[in-house]
Amino acid sequence: MTQDVRRPFGRVITAMVTPMHADHSIDVDGVSRLAEYLVDEQGNDALVINGTAGEASTTSDSEKETILRAVVEAVGGRAKILAGVGTNNTAHTIELARQAEKAGVHGLLVVTPYYNKPPQSGLLKHFTTVADSTGLPMLVYDIPHRSGIPIATETMLRLAEHERIVGVKDAKVDLVAQGTVLRRHPDFAYYSGEDAATLPVLAVGGVGVVGTSTHLNGNETKAMIEAFDSGDHSAALQLHLRLLPLFTGIFRTQGTILVKAAMNVRGLPGGPVRLPLADATEAELAQLRSDCADAGVPL
């Protein structure tokens, strides 16, 4: 794995779903096989494990550790592994971060604390305290439509000063805020947290994507990013437009639901989702097939 200072975790990162058996227990073998598929066949440079897509809100701490160790063993030698460790309890987040470090991961993804709605001073202290608790590089995750609050630009500027806070998974997609941060911290890594916003994020200095549709279109998404990097912006735009129905279609309901449905159709590890999520309906699966076909990625 080569290291690019501007891309601490590569170009294409998938927030991996957690395969489960029919009884909703963790399919540990399936976890390993899906990780191998994403790295070896879908071209992913890195994986986020135990994130939103991985149903981290309904897996126990011991399950999270088991999942991480399975992925690290399966692909940790040829891809970067990031552990989603964010909670709305700083002490618990630190416990998960240290557990992940012991499991051998390469980095952390820490979401904005949800529900509590802390002030910006609390966000700053939360993220820096977690970053100080391990020796791992860390991405913060700015997703106000889930967490309830955004990371303010001034807060992000201060976070970027921390030696281990190396970037952000940006699902807010405020391109002006992104540019403001990058003017002062040009090596701060902006990863798009919205699949469909990847190309615009690249255009103002972003480095890649932490994706969901990349379970299905990782190679095509990487080709889009590489085309942009090489200066072939026309080719990048054409790939963006082609893939747009899948970039957006995977979120017609919760992305985890549709990714697992797609994995099941492809004969890959997926299984059911845990409540309160609900498995895809026949109508939702039919629409996903249509969206995939429109994007040139047959299901």
The rounded distance, in Å, linking the Cα atoms of 276 and 208 is 31
Tell me which amino acid residue 143 is. I
The rounded distance, in Å, linking the Cα atoms of 70 and 6 is 28
- 119, 83 in Cβ contact below 8 A? no
DSSP annotation of 273:
P
Nearest to 147 by CA among 166, 172, 168, 130: 172
Q: For the chain, list the strands marked E by DSSP.
A: 12-15, 46-49, 80-84, 107-111, 138-142, 165-170, 189-192, 208-211
Structure tokens at 77: 């030698």
Tell me which amino acid residue 272 is. P
Nearest to 81 by CA among 53, 105, 99: 105
| Residue among 37, 80, 141, 190 flagged as catalytic | 141
Residue 71's SS3 state is helix
The rounded distance, in Å, linking the Cα atoms of 264 and 52 is 19
Element at 92 (helix H, strand E): helix 90-103
| Residue among 169, 172, 222, 260 flagged as catalytic | 169
Reply yes or no on whether 141 is catalytic.
yes
Burial of 176 (0-12, 13-18, 19+ CB in 10 A): exposed
The rounded distance, in Å, linking the Cα atoms of 106 and 104 is 7
List active site positions: 141, 169
